[in-house]
Amino acid sequence: MTGDAPRGLWITLEGGDGSGKTTQAAALEGWLRESGREVVRTREPGGSDVGQLIRDIVLHHRGDIAPRAEALLYAADRAHHVATVVRPALARGAVVVQDRYLDSSVAYQGAGRVLDAGEVRDLSLWAADGALPDLTVLLDLDPTAARQRLDADDKPFDRLEAEKSDFHERVRSAFLGLAEAEPDRFLVLDATRPPGDLSADIRARVGDALGAAPGR
């Protein structure tokens, strides 16, 4: 995101289901708060009241949703979320720690649902008025290992978690392709490593970003 007004830092966490995004988001939030930073921890879909309604549809609706309709629902959530949660938080200097953003749409709806990835990305960028995070942490995990983690949680799968292995293989490949295309924005980490080691790497990168950004 651009602009002359003082602003915070926007960090998104991406990766397949079961990769540990929630664990790392919580650890990062705790470290930032201990450092005296205001933190807004949020997610997509579901980071607002409107978004929670959309989340219930896209993840828990019983029955099929046409792929293009699914992509549009995610974009609608994104438009409202960025306008009402992310931009106001950044404008007052907060650090936004967010579980999933447009890279998930490109991976899940673009590659997973076999839609045009460029069109999905353009739709999300239009919805969010061009907003991109300062840093995206990609927790990379083989889908087989991810499924084992999800099975161990002993919780019902949502619509996307329940997709077959080839779907999740396409999603993983898409995430890695996105990271390769934007190496300055992405930090790619092997999600099989101990959580504490991953947290340390994330803190180091975030600390550098906070120190390098003028006016923060």
pLDDT in tens, 85-143: 999 999 999 999 999 999 999 998 999 888 999 999 999 999 999 999 999 999 999 98
d(CA 146, CA 141): 6
pLDDT of residue 62: 75
Residues 6+ apart with CB under 8 A from 132: 1, 102, 125, 185
d(CA 11, CA 133): 6
191, 139 Cβ separation under 8 angstroms: yes
d(CA 37, CA 210): 10
Helix (H, G, I), strand (E, B) or coil at 133: coil
Count other Cβ atoms within 10 Å, centred on residue 64.
9
Q: Dihedral of CA 36/40/42/46: which sign? A: positive
131, 82 Cβ separation under 8 angstroms: yes
pLDDT of residue 76: 96
Candidates 198, 171, 162; CA nearest to 22 is: 198
39, 29 Cβ separation under 8 angstroms: yes
Give the strand order in the sheet containing 39-43: 39-43, 95-99, 9-15, 135-140, 186-190
DSSP annotation of 84 reads I
Does residue 2 surpass a pLDDT of 50? Answer: no
Q: What are phi and psi of 141, to 5 degrees?
A: -145, 135
Task: For residue 159, name the pLDDT band (cuts at 50, 70, 90).
Answer: low
Task: For residue 6, name the pLDDT band (cuts at 50, 70, 90).
Answer: low
List pLDDT tens digits, range 11-55. 999 998 889 999 999 999 999 999 999 999 999 999 999 999 998
Q: How much is the average pLDDT of 73-83?
A: 96
Q: Which domains does the chain have, with CATH numbers?
A: 9-212 (3.40.50.300)
Task: For residue 215, name the pLDDT band (cuts at 50, 70, 90).
Answer: very low
Candidates 48, 52, 13; CA nearest to 175 is: 13
Mean pLDDT rounded to a whole number for the chain: 90
pLDDT of residue 211: 82
